[in-house]
Homo-oligomer: A and B are copies of this chain.
Amino acid sequence: MASPISFLSDFGYADEFVGVVHGVIARIAPTVRIIDLTHGIGRGDVHGGAMALTRAIQFMPDGVILAVVDPGVGTSRKAVAVRTRVGYFVGPDNGLLAPAVAMVGGADLAVSIEAEEFRLPSPGATFHGRDVFAPAAAVLASGEALLEDLGPLVHPEALTPLLIPLSERAGAASIKATALWVDSFGNVQLNVSPEDLGGLGLVVGDDVSVAREMMDYRIVWGKTYGDVEEGEPIVHVDSHGQIALAVRSGRADETLEISVGDGVVIGRPGGGNRIEITDA
């Protein structure tokens, strides 16, 4: 039976790129359903695409993940397809796929997509989303081809990794963290877990110091937005289980002036957390 394809890209909504990929898949595999995860990833933002895929993967149906954020198109980066326990991942081998593949337990088989018979011929430059990745996703989803048919095997553990910044302890009272994601509501996810804060002796209800350049905010660690007033910031565990900064009925990124990749020191108030931090 045909599996669904979950499709993420940085193609945007202004041009017909997304629709054309749907068309190519529909011609090859007319009964395959396509779920658009998002096509609003920043242009060429491999890191942002990889993070979105990692957050989403556990909620998507088993099948094929088609992900295309490909600033290196036309260079030597490989086009790959890998097999995991939740299905196939298809996309450029530039770090985009690796974190989500790791999250579902890794790949046990991988190929470099090279077989001409499953590529669309192009009159000029290859539009990889249309000519390479869409046909590969379509034949994997429909069962028309096996992974091995798509090209030579590559080592399943040789996927290009993505560098994800790790937070680190800075003394007994603080953690040097990084803003991993700012969503479109302005919420700021940090690379910090509730266990990390717990390790500093902090519990829900405590005030937390969030320091950044010359600013040192004191923000309550709450459970829900309802724990603070309108317009007030809150530290909380977000819906992905990570520590995040939010503002009730507002935007934490603007209030706290934090962008993706920025350094943040989080910890116990008065813990001497004016540490030198560097922005992305």
Q: Which residues from chain A sit less than 8 Å from chain B, CB to CB?
A: 4, 6, 8, 11-20, 22-24, 26-27, 30, 33, 35-40, 43-44, 52-53, 55-56, 59-61, 71, 73-76, 122-127, 130-131, 183-185, 194, 223-226, 236-242, 248-249
Contact = CB atoms under 8 A, between A and B. Distances in A.
Contact of A37 (B19, B40, B225): B19
A266 B30 CA distance: 42
A39 B39 CA distance: 13
In the complex this chain forms, how many copies of it are found?
Answer: 3
Contacts of A126: 239
Given A23-B35, A59-B130, A74 B15 contact: no
10 contacts: A13-B13, A13-B38, A14-B184, A16-B37, A17-B183, A22-B35, A43-B185, A44-B249, A123-B237, A127-B239
A236 B8 contact: no
A14 B35 contact: no
B19 A123 contact: no
Residue with the greatest number of chain B CB neighbours at <10 A, chosen from A44, A73, A127, A184: A184
Contacts of A40: 12-15
A230 to B, nearest CB: 9
A239 B17 CA distance: 11
A16 B75 contact: no
A205 to B, nearest CB: 15
Contacts of A16: 8, 37-38, 52-53, 55-56
Contacts of A240: 123-124
A56 B225 contact: no
B130 A239 contact: yes
Nearest to A62: B27
Sort A-B residue pairs by CB-CB distance and give the 9 closest, nearest first.
Answer: A123-B241, A124-B237, A19-B37, A74-B225, A74-B224, A127-B239, A23-B60, A14-B40, A75-B226
A224 B35 contact: no
Contact of A125 (B33, B39, B237): B237
A30 B13 CA distance: 26
A202 to B, nearest CB: 15
